[in-house]
Amino acid sequence: MPAAHQIDIHHVATLARLTLTEDEAVRYAAQLDGILTYIDTLTRYNLDGVEPTAHAMPVYDVLRADEARPGFTQDQALSNAPKRTADQFQISKVIE
């Protein structure tokens, strides 16, 4: 059955920061197509003029007092780092 949705799975995977094998790419593209076909149920209803809901129990403008409060020490913050150096997170080189 031809795909109903034109999904550029490699582009989506790049946006999602995921490496996919060729097998995965084929499988996920087909599965996403099936799921999106089901999701197209939403197009059967006229939703013009309906306000979108982001939260069922909305709470607005949540600000805390601008006061210092205790937080993690540097050691605590780094305690789960896969790689650290000189009390910092270590990442791959980004500048030549």
Partner 1 sequence: MLASSTITALRQQITAGEITPRDIVLDVAKSIDARNTEIGAYLSWDVESALAAADRADIKKPLGGIPIGVKDNMNVAGEPCTCGSRILAENYSAPYDAGAIQRLRSAGAIPFGRLNMDEFAMGSSTENSALGITRNPRDITRVPGGSSGGSAAAVAGDLAIAALGSDTGGSIRQPASLCGCVGIKPTYGRVSRYGLVAFASSLDQIGPLTKTVEDAALMLNHLCGYDAHDSTSLNVDVPDFTAAIGQDIKGLRIGLPKEYYISGIHAGVSASIQAAIKQLESLGAIIEEISLPHTELGVATYYVLAPAEASANLARFDGVRYGHRSGNAGDLMEHYTRSRAEGFGPEVKRRILLGTYVLSSGYYDAYYIRAQKARTLIRNDFTEAFKHVDVILSPTSPTPAHKLGEMKDNPLAAYLEDVFTIPVNLAGLPGISVPCGNVEVDGIALPIGLQIIGKALDESTVLRVAHAFEQSR
Question: Considering only residues 67, 70, 83, 86, which one is a binding residue for partner 1 as defined by CB under 8 A?
Answer: 83
CB of 94 to partner 1, least distance (A): 5
Number of other residues whose CB lies within 10 A of the CB of residue 32: 16
What does the block give as tokens for 72?
């993690």
Question: Considering only residues 2, 22, 23, 59, which one is a binding residue for partner 1 as defined by CB under 8 A?
Answer: 59
Question: Considering only residues 3, 4, 26, 81, which one is a binding residue for partner 1 as defined by CB under 8 A?
Answer: 81
The alpha helices in 40-86, defined as continuous H runs, are 74-78
* Position 35 contacts partner 1 (CB under 8 A): yes
What whole-number distance in Å separates Cα of residue 74 and Cα of residue 88? 9
* Position 18 contacts partner 1 (CB under 8 A): yes
What whole-number distance in Å separates Cα of residue 83 and Cα of residue 79? 10
Question: Considering only residues 22, 23, 51, 67, which one is a binding residue for partner 1 as defined by CB under 8 A?
Answer: 51
CB of 92 to partner 1, least distance (A): 5
